Amino acid sequence: MKEVSTANQEMNDDNTLVIIDTSWFCNKLVGTLLGTHLKDEPRRPCPWVWDIEDIKKMLRQQGCEERDLDEILRYLQCLELCTTLDIVPGHPKGHLLFPALVKQNVIQYPVVTNANNAMATAFFGRRLRCVDSSIHLIPFGVFTRLQVKLHKEYSNNPTFHLGYGWVSFMRGNVGVVVRFGGENKQYIDILVFCPNSGMHNSASGSAPTASMIMSMSTPSYIAGNKLMDDIRGTCKSTVFGGIPAVILEECVLQSQIESDAPAVLLSDVLEKVRKEGLQGSYQEWRLHIPSTPTIDLLLPRERERERERGLCERSAQCSRRNRRRVLTVRPRGW
């Protein structure tokens, strides 16, 4: 019999599972669930999906008591090793998806169309990168936890796809890709695709930029910004929760497909904006795109924050000048 017990905490009425035999849990149980080509392994139509009844059968064979089976399954999901498929429309109940078993490495990029049903998109990308890239600072297991979180949040529509080191889905008319990359697996990319709201005049020969083809008040533009914010927060909490010592820096990414594309630090972009203003600031950022207005590398909320910041600074400067003017003007007779 495996050493598994449920302990009732004084401050919690719910039963809490205590795994006493950690060697069995990690090597035998998790090792079997994540293993491939195992002897006597049940044949599964989908290699990365386990039937809950098959897992329970395996637990009984390994000596677990019937009363502990559901709690062990819940514990596996709490560790974010797997996630239920019960929330996926059209999928049969009683199955668990294990992202670590998915081997499809070709990303399914979302197809985004505008009001004229044309496949034209505005793209924004952010890269969350480890400051120290000399070693594997983001283990693959951390990204599988992120895949589980994203699956729970966004898999309630048929556009959600999950593969080896990536997730893609649509939310309304906005497409999203989250991918794990780098030679040392040291960064996570978040790509957001929004439909163009207008035609771009390409007479200048330059590449279309977000400010040229899209209004900041466009609903899909705002929705894309919110998705970026939400997923960025989920990524940071997942990495910090898994490896507290990791320090992430945020970069701007402009290549939609190349996973090894260069990126520029967001702090550098913001510094240039603060020096030269939001308008008329151009820079060659080594992003495989022409010299680009710096503002086009910022998301709408980042633009708005910088605009408000500029207004506050100008207001403060005016106040300081007015105070100096008052101090330097003396009444007659002094």
User: Which pLDDT score, from 0 to 100, does residue 6 have?
Assistant: 46
State the residue for tokens 């429309």: 89
pLDDT at 319 over 70: no
Higher pLDDT, 267 or 310: 267
Percent of the chain with pLDDT over 90: 18
Distance in angstroms (rounded) separating the CA atoms of residues 264 and 266: 6
Highest mean pLDDT among 46-55, 111-120, 188-197: 46-55
Distance in angstroms (rounded) separating the CA atoms of residues 231 and 207: 27
pLDDT at 199 over 50: no
User: Which pLDDT score, from 0 to 100, does residue 9 have?
Assistant: 42
User: Which pLDDT score, from 0 to 100, does residue 8 have?
Assistant: 43
pLDDT at 32 over 50: yes
Domains and CATH numbers, the chain: 4-101 (no CATH), 121-307 (3.30.310.200)
User: Which pLDDT score, from 0 to 100, does residue 304 have?
Assistant: 79
User: Which pLDDT score, from 0 to 100, does residue 241 have?
Assistant: 67
User: Which pLDDT score, from 0 to 100, does residue 112 have?
Assistant: 80
pLDDT (average), residues 141-147: 88
User: Which pLDDT score, from 0 to 100, does residue 249 have?
Assistant: 86
Higher pLDDT, 17 or 28: 28
pLDDT at 43 over 80: no
pLDDT (average), residues 31-37: 77
User: Which pLDDT score, from 0 to 100, does residue 115 have?
Assistant: 60
pLDDT at 230 over 90: yes
Higher pLDDT, 98 or 284: 98
pLDDT tens digits, one per residue of 82-139: 999 988 887 888 999 999 999 888 898 888 876 665 555 777 889 988 776 565 567 7
Higher pLDDT, 307 or 216: 307
pLDDT (average), residues 263-269: 86
Q: How confident is the model at residue 317 (pLDDT cuts 50, 70, 90)?
A: low
pTM of the model: 0.77
User: Which pLDDT score, from 0 to 100, does residue 52 have?
Assistant: 93
